[in-house]
Structures are given as C-alpha cells and as structure tokens.
Structure 1
Amino acid sequence: MIKVFFASWALFLGIFMLMVGNGLQGTLLGVRGSLEDFSTFEMSIVMSAYFVGFLGGSRLAPEMIRRVGHVRVFAALGSTISAVLILYPVLPEVWAWTLGRVVIGFCFSGVYVTAESWLNNAATNENRGQSLSLYMLAQMSGIVLAQVILSFGDVSGYILFIIPSVLVSLAFAPILLSITPTPAFETTRPMKLKDLIGTSPLASVGMFLLGGVFAAQFGMTAVYGVEAGLNVKEISLLVSVIYVAALAAQYPIGWASDRMDRRVLIIGLAALGGAGAILAALSGGSLPVILVGAALVGGTSNPLYALYIAYANDFLEHEDMPAASAGFIFINGVGAIMGPILLGYVMGVFGEASFWVAVATLMLAMAAYGGLRMLQRPSDTAVEDQVSYAPVLANASVVAVDMAQEVYIETELEEQAQDESDS
C-alpha cells in the first residue's frame, strides 16, 4: 500500500485538501446560518441544494470532460468553488446561499469525477482495491480535519470562509503539476430504474432511504447542533465522530459481508443505526450519549452504501454492474435531495430532537424492508457465491463506484480461476 501511496501521492494530497475545504464549508454554513437568522427550514433548503448540484454534476461533468478535457474542467471547477466559498459571507441571503450550494455541489461532483478517473487510470488490477482504500482514507481524514479547524475559528467572521477557499485553490497545484497523460474517459449509461428495481428491490429502496440519512449527516448535523444548543467545538466533535466511526467500521463490516447472508447484515446494521438514533433522541441533551448515538448511526449507515452495491452485484452479470452503479447513484442522490427538506420541516415543527427521530425512521425502515424481502424470498445467494465487498463512500462519483465494481469483478474472476485450478 505504501508503493500505491507514493505512486499517486499528489492526487491523494489534493483530494485531502479538497475534502478539508468541502467538510469545513458544510458544517460552517450550518452554524453561521443561525447567526444570520435563517430558520431551520431555510437552512434545510440551503443544505439540500448541494445534493441537487452534486446529482446534476454527476450527469453533466462526464460530457464536459469529453468536450474540453480533464485539465480544463478540473481547473475551471476548482476556481469556481474557491470563488463561491468567499462569496458566502458577502451575500448572507437564503437565495444566494442556496444558489452557491447548487454551484458548489455541481463543481465538487465534477472535480471528483475528474480526480477519480485519474486515480483509476493510475491503478492496476493488483492495486485498485488499495488505491480505493487510500482514496477513502484521504476523503475521511480531510472531513475530520475540517471539523478541528472549525472548532478553533470564529464562525462570525470571514477567516473560516477564506481558509477552505485557499485550501481548494492550493489542492489543484500538486495534482495538475504531477498528473501525467490525460486518461481516456468513458462512463456507462445508468440502467433503467425499472430494471434496476426489478433486479434488486432491497438495494434500490435501501439506497433511496440511505440518501436521506447521508444528507442528514453531511448537511443537517450542524443545524441540529445549533438548535440543540451545542457550541462550535461540540458540533465539530459531533460531525467528526460520525465520520471516524464510518471509517473504522468499513473493514469489519466488509469482512462480515463476505462471510454471511448480506440481507441479515443489512437488517442488523440498519436496526443498530436506528437504535443509535433513538438513543440520541432520548439523550436529554447529554453530549456523551449523543456522541454514542451518532457513532452508531455513522458507523452503520456509511458502510451500508457499499454493502447495498455488493448485494445487488450478487444478482448482476459483470457487464451490467457499472450500469447498475450509475443507477444507484441517481436513486441515492434523489433521496439525499429530499432528506434535508424533510428534516428541516420536522425539526421546525417538533423541535431539534426530531432530527434523530427522522434518522431513526429512515434506518428502521431499511431494516423493516429487509425483513419483508426475506419473507418474500427466503432463499438467497449462497455465501460462497457472493461477490467480494469493496469500500466506497456515499459521496463518491460514478467513477469511484466503477472502480469498486472493477475490484468486485477482478476478485471474483481470481476466485473462479483458483477454484478451477484446485479442481
């Protein structure tokens, strides 16, 4: 893995710095919005706007890259992100922040597509899984460091908006100065939703519900923290705990995924996450209890994304896997757009504790639907016939998910070749 890191260190460093900027602006807006007298529902619109842009970028960025090339798209989107970050405190209006979030979501989606296509081009069949793991580590580390920076800054001033703008600008230097040949770029058209849902209803419904949970974590946690009376350091700690738990849980859950009925694991993880959200809702404002509940939600919901993809792959031919992954990104994106709006409305009517109640409802709905599917189809893919699990985050672009699909396929082909040689 060390060789893989040094082979693409500039790319990992650039992504790390980008995620510091993205993680900082997301939480910062949630806190700053209260100082600008934005209502909870208004902030939910602002937070939802990011996912509108992100979903649009995942569809349009590949065509932009094909027309003008990776480098131009990368540089243009990066400079736009940097400009919008500085404009937030200059235009503290709901419409301006909403528009800014759409633009930033679109730009980050395009940046991810570009960077991940470079990463995929640099990876080989032997180290693609390691490259994907390092990429995920760089992303998560950047988000967590962003919360540390936020906890030491002044949310009422301008500096915390300038820092992510500078980091995003600097992030492109090591990448653009070290990246060698521009890779060929192709993306797969999404599978028709009707066919995707018919192939795996459990994964399709789960992805939609999971989109709402992910949007709650990435977009509305800071808004909840303000409404709950937490200070900036406590909000930063809360967001950090969610992502640290998500990173720590990926590999144990991946190990278990390859050794048991995935539906049982999906039901168990969703139920555990729902229980964690209920625990946080009943915490009575106790920060340690809230943190435990948040860790359970983050540690179960984020790995579920990769788990749903792996489960669906058990029923797909190799050539259909990329198309299915593109469809799942769309389904998850629609859920992510709706999630903050639902949470903002519920919190405005029932108070801040309803944030966790809504998250619990989404998680328990996943568990309940998983149980229903087991009743409808008792038999499932044998454990020995399951494809291998590959870690991938819910904010990944279609290129990173395609990388994970390549890991699935390569691992399965290796296992088939080993079985043939043994026999």
Structure 2
Amino acid sequence: MNTVFSGIWALLVGIVFIMLGNGMHFTLIGVRGGIEGFSATELAIVASGYFLGFMSGARKTPDLIRRVGHVRVFAALGSFMSAALIAFPLFTDPIAWTLLRVLVGFCMSGIYVTAESWLNASATNETRGKVLSAYMIAQTLGLIGAQGLMTLGDAATSVLFICASILVSISFGPILLSVTPTPATEVTRSMPLRTLFRAAPLGTAGMFLLGTVYATQAGMGAVYGTQVGMTPDQIALFIAMLFGGALLLQYPMGWLSDRMDRRKLILGCAILGASFCAAGALSAQAMWQLMAVAFLTGGVTTPLYALLLAYTNDALDPEEMPAASGGLVLIFGIGAILGPLVAGAAMERLGPSAFWMVLSATFTAVALYSAYRMTQRPPIAAADTDSYLGVLPTASAVVVEAAGAWAAEQAEIDRDTNT
C-alpha cells in the first residue's frame, strides 16, 4: 500500500487544496450573491456558467496539452483560476460573475484533465483501483473541508475569496514539483449521443437527469440556504452534509451494486432521492431535519452517478467503453448546465421550497424511466457485470475512461478466479 501511494501523495495533497479553494468558491457564490441582492434566476445563470465552462474545458484541454504540454497548460489554467477567484468581490454584477464562473469552470476542467492524466500514468493495472479510489476520497474531503473554512471569515468581505485563491495557488506547488513523467493525454472522441442512447438508454437518460440534480445541489444549495434564512455557518454545514453523505454511503452502494440487478438499485436510489427531497420541501423551518435530508440526498446522488456508469459499461463491449465514457460525461454536462436554470426559475416563482420540488421531480423521472427500462430488457446476471468503482460527478473523461477500463479488467479477473 505504501508503494502505491509513495508516488502520488503529492498529487493527492494538491487535489485536496484545489478542492478546498473550489469548494469555498461554490458556497461563497450563493452566500455573497444573496448579500448583494441577486435574484434566484440571476444566481442560477451564474451557477450554470461554471458547468458551461467545465464542459468546454473538457473538450478543449486535450488539444491545448498536445500543443504546449501538460506543465504549461496546468500552470496557465491555475493562474487564470486564481485570478478569477480574487475578481469576484471586485465585480459584484451577475453578468461579470457569470463570465468569471465560465472561466473558473473552464480552468477547473482543464486542471482535472491534466492532474488526472498524471495520476493515471502513475498507476498500473494492479494499483489503478486503489489510486482512483484515493483520488475520489481526496476530492470529497477537500469539498467537505472547504465548508469548514467558510466559517472562518465574513462572506460580505473579500477575505474568503482571497483565501480560496490562495488555496488554489498553493495546490500547484506539490503537483508541479513532484510529477516527473509527462503522460500522454489521449481522450477518446465521444460516442454520438444517438448511438449511446440506443446502446444504453437508461445510462444516457439517467446521466442527463442526474446532471441536473448534481448541478442544482452544488450550484443552488447555498442560494436555497440563504433564502430560508440560514446563517453562513449553517449554509456551510448544509453543503458539507451533501458531500458527507456521498462519502459515507458510496461503499455500501458499491457493495450492493456488485451483487444485484443494478437497475433495481438505480430505481431504489432514485425513489429514495425523490422521497428525501419531498421531505426537504416540508422541513424548511426545521434546521436539523434539513441537514439530515441534505446528507441522505447527497448520499444517493453521487453513488447513482457511479451506478449509471457501471450499468452502461455492462451493456457495452470493452472497445466501446472509452467512447461511451466521453459521451456520458458530455450528456451529464448538458444536464448540469440546464439544472440550475430550471431550479432558479422555479425558486423565483414558487419560493425556496421549489429547490426540493425540482430535485424530487427529477429523481422521480429517473425512477420512472428505470422502471420502464426494466420491462424492455432482461437483467444482466451479477456474475457478468463489471466491477463498481465510486467515480465522482466532478471527474473528467480521463478518470471515467480509466475507471471503466479498470472495472472491465477486474471483472474479468474475478470471473477467471471463480472458474
């Protein structure tokens, strides 16, 4: 185990610092936007800007890396992101914030692609599962820790934005000073969405809907907290609960995933998500109930992402998986752009409880479609499925492809062992 992590510890440390800065900025946007008097619709547009930039960065970064190399791309994107974080309190205008969020999303996506390329190059077939799992844990811990840092300053000032910028700047030190090989970055061209849908209808539609759920939680959670009268500390705890649930419930979901029909588990998670969110709409004044709902909702959202990836891989031939991974990341990104816009418009018309109502309706759509698909295809035997790996929605196509390849290899090894 020590051998596995001796070559990647600096990368993991750097990722934690990046997620600390990025996680702070996500919550800050909602809190500071409320202080500045931005409407729910305006903040929804700002939130969607990040995911628009993220999707653009995922498609453009491999070309940039091929032209000028990993180190230059990584350093340039980090510098732009750090500068953008400082600029938020200087330009308190929805249009300026939207443009800055597009820039931050683009940079963050490129940083992921570059760092994940280094991480993947540091792993072997035997260690890839452990390395990717450690990476996902580092990301989640950084996001949770960011909410704790939110309590150390006043969102009405520029202090917390400056702290986020500093954390992002610091993160590049251990990464750039430790990586020695320059890995090849070859992200496979995405499978056309029509082809992907024909091959895996539930995975494709589910990813689109889940993209709206995740982006609404991450982008509009702090906006909801502001509108129901939470203090900044309570908002930080609320967001931490969303990611904390994902961290703690990922393993049991994965254990179940390898032992039962994944469609049933997807259906169960979606029903639970819809139920939890419906309870959230009825608990606006009960603070600890809201925290519990956030924990449980986040606890089914992130595992559902990995479940949909795993189920889609089960329906494909191994040579199709890399292209399908790119298509799934793309359709998830499209949903992520639209999610906050829908939630923001609903919150503007119906009040803050619409945050939960939109989430509940989307989970219900996932449940209904998964139930329908169960009538259209026979189940895949658990022994014939690929292994589950807890991939996070924040991962780029580099990790999604690597996780798919590892899952297929691991499943093949398990089948050979059993026979």
Q: TM-score, normalised by structure 1?
A: 0.98
State the secondary structure of the residue aligned to 1:118: helix
Consecutive unaligned residues of structure 1, counting only runs of 5 or more, are none
Following the alignment from structure 1 to structure 2, what is the Cα–Cα distance between the partners of residues 264 and 39? Answer: 39
After superposition, the C-alpha distances for 1:185-234 in whole angstroms (9 at most, x for unaligned) are 21101111111000111111100000011001211100000001100111
CA contact (8 A) 1:133 1:391 kept: yes
Superposed displacement of residue 245, structure 1: 0.5
The Cα of 1:38 is off from its aligned counterpart by 0.8
Whole-angstrom CA distance in 2 between matches of 1:5 and 1:350:
50
Paired residue for 1:38?
Answer: 38
Contact between 1:14 and 1:174, CA under 8 Å: does it hold in 2?
A: yes
What displacement does 1:2 show?
A: 3.8
SS at 2:375 equivalent? helix
Shift of 1:284: 3.9
- Given that 1:276 and 1:292 are in contact with CA atoms closer than 8 Å, whether structure 2 keeps it comes out as no
**Partner in structure 1 of residue 407 of structure 2:** 408
Instruction: Please give the secondary structure, in 2, of the residue aligned with 1:375.
Output: coil
Shift of 1:293: 1.3
Displacement, 1:169? 0.7
Kept in 2, the 8 Å contact 1:271–1:363? The answer is: yes
**Structure 2: distance between partners of 1:331 and 1:45:** 19
Asked if the contact 2:207/2:305 (under 8 Å) is kept, the reply is yes
Contact 1:280 1:291 in 2 (8 A): no
Structure 2 contact 383–415 (Cα < 8 Å) conserved: no
SS in 1 for 2:164: helix
Alignment deviations for residues 130-186 of structure 1 (CA, whole Å, 9 cap, x no partner): 111110111111111110010221001111011011111111011111101101121
Distance 2:366 2:151 in 1: 34
Query: Which residue of 2 is the match for residue 191 of structure 1?
Result: 191
Q: Name the counterpart of 2:162.
A: 162
Residue pairs, 1:5-404, within 5 angstroms:
5-377=5-377, 379-404=378-403
Deviant stretches of 4+, over 3 Å: none
1:266-288 per-residue CA deviation (whole Å, 9 max, x = no partner) reads 00001001111011111141011
Is contact 2:310–2:387 with CA below 8 Å preserved after alignment? yes
Give me the whole-angstrom Cα distance separating, in 1, the residues matched to 2:39 and 2:354. Answer: 16
Aligned residue pairs, count: 419
- Mapped to 1, the partners of 2:289 and 2:167 lie a distance apart of 34
* Structure 1 residue matching 2:189: 3-state secondary structure: coil
Fraction of identical pairs, as percent: 50
Residue aligned with 1:239, SS: helix
Q: Distance between the aligned counterparts of 2:274 and 2:4, measured in 1?
A: 37
Q: Which moved more, 1:143-152 or 1:11-20?
A: 143-152
* Structure 2 unaligned regions, length at least 5: none
- Counterparts of 1:31 and 1:250 in 2: how far apart (Å)? 28
2-side partners of 1:138 and 1:5: how far apart? 13
- TM-score normalised by the chain length of structure 2: 0.99
Shift of residue 375 of structure 1? 2.1
Q: Is contact 2:228–2:284 with CA below 8 Å preserved after alignment?
A: no
- Whole-Å Cα distance in 2 between the matches of residues 16 and 293 of structure 1? 26
How far apart are residue 359 of structure 1 and its match?
Answer: 0.4
- Cα distance per residue 1:95-140 (max 9 Å; x no partner): 1100000000000000000000000000011110111111011111
User: CA RMSD for the aligned pairs?
Assistant: 0.9
Q: CA deviation at 1:416?
A: 3.8
Instruction: Please give the alpha-carbon distance, in whole angstroms, between the structure 1 residues aligned to 2:2 and 2:27.
Output: 32
**Secondary structure class of the residue paired with 2:393:** coil
